[in-house]
Amino acid sequence: MNAPVLVDIRDRIATLTLNRPDKLNALNYETVDLLLRTLDELESDPGVRVLIVTGAGDRAFSAGADIREFSESVRQGTAAAVRDFVRRGQRMTARMESYRKPIIAAVNGYAFGGGCEITEAVPLAIASDRALFAKPEIRLGMPPTFGGTQRLSRLSGRKRSLHLLLTGERFSAERALEVGLVNAVVPHDDLLPAARDLATCIASQSPLAVTAILTAVTRGLNLAIDEGLQVESEQFASLVPSRDLREGIDAWIERREPAFPGC
Ligand code: COA
């Protein structure tokens, strides 16, 4: 129970809990490394179709990178700071962004700095009405480094993200919904049930089609439209020989529910 990331697998849904509640689930190197290893394991686990990420305790999703720890890397100089702090954090958010299974952030409290960047990187997010977001790095005299200067602008537009990045001000779950950072805001006690409902719905779909859609949308967003259409076409082409596509079409023709076997 002392591991910095807890994993609970039920009904094809893996719930990952960031577990340093006395530090508001700050992302120290050990947490990031364990998160990356856990993602590796779950990606190839056929018993898991959807992941939920949330925070332990009743205060925080995550208050961001562990400032005390990365300040030591900064003290060691540029090479150590970039290698140990920046690259590690960017690896984590990039992995979540391009993960082959959907990850839903269930934002249960503070999502500051790296906690906000995880929310930006994952494909889906639901926030408790008690969640509070911020891009506070500016107050430490630095830009965000886990993708926070890149993904929020793509989600919400340049001016909205620059306002949040340059002021560091806190913003509510409702504001996060308005700027496109989360899909929904729900009463605090409904957060995990709402995340599980969404996960259950997606877990019943064809896992191959889910991965194809995640890949096409996420890759396509950073491409010109004609290249994005090529990715879309390739994703479809890769499914043509699959049992999932045959089953989905046959089930529609035979007027029955499809049963998708999985990867
Ligand atoms: N890194 C390291 N430790 C952190 C942390 C972080 N990002 N955020 C919180 N903690 C630790 C605190 O040091 C404290 O530990 P301690 O009791 O051993 O000193 C504990 O978590 C509780 O935090 P505390 O600051 O006492 O709670 P609070 O209610 O007064 O304030 C916040 C909550 C979120 C406003 C405040 O913790 C904060 O500003 N955190 C940093 C946010 C940030 O700048 N993140 C971006 C980092 S790049």
Q: Ligand 1: which of 22, 24, 116, 135 to mutate, most ligand atoms within 8 Å of CB?
A: 24
Output b/e per residue, 127-139; b: 16+ Cβ within 10 A.
bbebbbbbbbbbe
Quick one: pLDDT at residue 262? 55
Whole-angstrom distance, CA of residue 34 vs CA of residue 3? 9
Quick one: pLDDT at residue 77? 98
Quick one: pLDDT at residue 98? 97
Quick one: pLDDT at residue 135? 98
Give yes or no for residue 97 CB within 6 A of ligand 1.
no
Indicate if 137 belongs to the active site.
Answer: yes
Quick one: pLDDT at residue 18? 98
Helix, strand or coil for residue 40? helix
CA of 23 to the centre of ligand 1 (A): 6
Give yes or no for residue 67 CB within 6 A of ligand 1.
yes
Residue nearest (by alpha carbon) to ligand 1 atom 38:
63
65 within 8 A of 124, measured Cβ to Cβ:
no
Whole-angstrom distance, CA of residue 229 vs CA of residue 235? 10
Indicate if 43 belongs to the active site.
Answer: no
Cα three-residue angle 119-62-24, rounded to 5 degrees: 170
Quick one: pLDDT at residue 252? 97
133 within 8 A of 144, measured Cβ to Cβ:
no
Give yes or no for residue 111 CB within 6 A of ligand 1.
no
Specify the ligand 1 atom closest to the Cα of 59: 29
Instruction: Name the amino acid, one letter, at 46.
Output: P
pTM for this model (two decimals): 0.97
Q: State both tokens at 29.
A: 């190197």
Sheet strands (E) in 73-123: 103-107, 110-112
Give yes or no for residue 68 CB within 6 A of ligand 1.
yes
Q: Count other Cβ atoms within 10 Å, centred on residue 225.
A: 8
128 within 8 A of 187, measured Cβ to Cβ:
yes
Element containing residue 3 per DSSP (H, E): none
Whole-angstrom distance, CA of residue 87 vs CA of residue 51? 23
Q: 29-43 vs 88-97: helix axis angle to the nearest 10?
A: 30
pLDDT tens digits for the chain (263 residues)? Answer: 789 999 999 999 999 999 999 999 999 999 999 999 999 999 999 999 999 999 999 999 999 999 999 999 999 999 999 999 999 999 999 999 999 999 999 999 999 999 999 999 999 999 999 999 999 999 999 999 999 999 999 999 999 999 999 999 999 999 999 999 999 999 999 999 999 999 999 999 999 999 999 999 999 999 999 999 999 999 999 999 999 999 999 999 999 999 986 54
Quick one: pLDDT at residue 128? 98
Give yes or no for residue 23 CB within 6 A of ligand 1.
yes
Quick one: pLDDT at residue 263? 41
